[in-house]
Amino acid sequence: MKKLLVTGASGFLGWHVCELAKLQWEVSGTYLANMVSSPSITLRKVDLTDFQELNRLFQEIQPEAVIHTAAQSSPNFCQTHPDETASINVTASANIAGICADYSIPCVFTSTDLVFDGLNPPYKETDSVCPVNYYGEQKVRAESEMLARYPLTAICRMPLMFGNVTPTASSFIQPFINILKEGKELSLFIDEFRTPVSGITAAKGLLLALDKVNGRIHLGGKERISRYEFGRLLVEVLQLPETGLKSCRQADVKMAAPRAKDVSLDSSMAFGLGYSPLSLREELELL
């Protein structure tokens, strides 16, 4: 089996990638803060921001492909710690692309729908980027620096992702479910729209990109939905108490990072390559 390196294996998306990839690859994964283990995946603690450590990782593993999911992906944390988070989100990403170029191996990078300002959705790969927060800015910088170092990099812009908990991570729906089960109030935005997919679907998209994509591609779902409407669907499918579900607007909640209103992705290019997300209802029924 060929060797695949997955960075950020302890993260929600990284774990799903490892679990899916191990069926066809010999998988090595990295983690930093959250120790994770699996009988079928080689996992090691690595500081990807340390260039010497990163180089040593490649020399030891000799991977034949890389999927780089490691990131500090909290927009609010990035907004308040821009320099600290740039080291992993930008610098390490560019270095990984450079090493992949040296080895002439496929490199897949997980970017975000937050590279857009939300004013002209749905967004195609060729649309101009204009992030409204530091996290989006960092991903834009990472995209351009990675492609400058290695034009064959697959830049996968990811949507909002959901799914079951992994050994060390959860998705945005777990707090929603817990709040509603406890009979507390859950307020969700009626004026923020995304094109969500499950972690499993997203992982399938990244493995597809490994084989078929150079440059930018969008891996969003087929449905544009507000946070509130997603919450209503979650309540219906999982049969949760609905009395606590309330609607609100972005302006009602103060956050460190500004938020775009509608970063729905047009993922027609990926669909044409065989990327095929289920409906949100079907995805939720599989949880």
Look at residues 59, 57, 63 and name the one whose alpha carbon lies nearest to residue 30.
57
CB neighbour burial string for 134-151, b if at least 16 within 10 angstroms, e if fewer = bbbbbbbbbbebbbebbe
pTM of the model: 0.97
Tens of pLDDT along the chain (287 residues)? 999 999 999 999 999 999 999 999 999 999 998 888 888 999 999 999 999 999 999 999 999 999 999 999 999 999 999 999 999 999 999 999 999 999 999 999 999 999 999 999 999 999 999 999 999 999 999 999 999 999 999 999 999 999 999 999 999 999 999 999 999 999 999 999 999 999 999 999 999 999 999 999 999 999 999 999 999 999 999 999 999 999 999 999 999 999 999 999 999 999 999 999 999 999 999 99
CATH of 165-195+223-264+279-285, one of 3.20.20.140, 3.90.1150.200, 3.30.1300.10, 3.90.25.10: 3.90.25.10
Read off the amino acid at residue 35: M
Contact 109, 155 (CB under 8 A): yes
Note the pLDDT of residue 36.
Answer: 86
Give 277: exposed, middle or buried? Use CB within 10 Å, 0-12, 13-18, 19+.
buried
For the chain, give me the number of helices (H) and strands (E)? 11, 13
Catalogue the E-assigned strands of the chain: 3-7, 26-31, 42-45, 65-68, 107-112, 154-158, 161-162, 186-189, 193-194, 197-198, 215-218, 225-226, 245-248
| CA dist., res. 259 & res. 278, Å (int) | 27
The answer, yes or no, to whether the previous bond of 122 is cis (omega within 30 of 0) is yes
Q: Which fold has domain 3-161+197-218?
A: Rossmann fold (3.40.50)
| CA dist., res. 37 & res. 40, Å (int) | 9
| CA dist., res. 253 & res. 249, Å (int) | 7
The tokens 């530091």 sit on which residue?
A: 134
Domain definitions of the chain by residue range = 3-161+197-218, 165-195+223-264+279-285
Contact 272, 215 (CB under 8 A): no
Look at residues 140, 87, 141 and name the one whose alpha carbon lies nearest to residue 117.
140
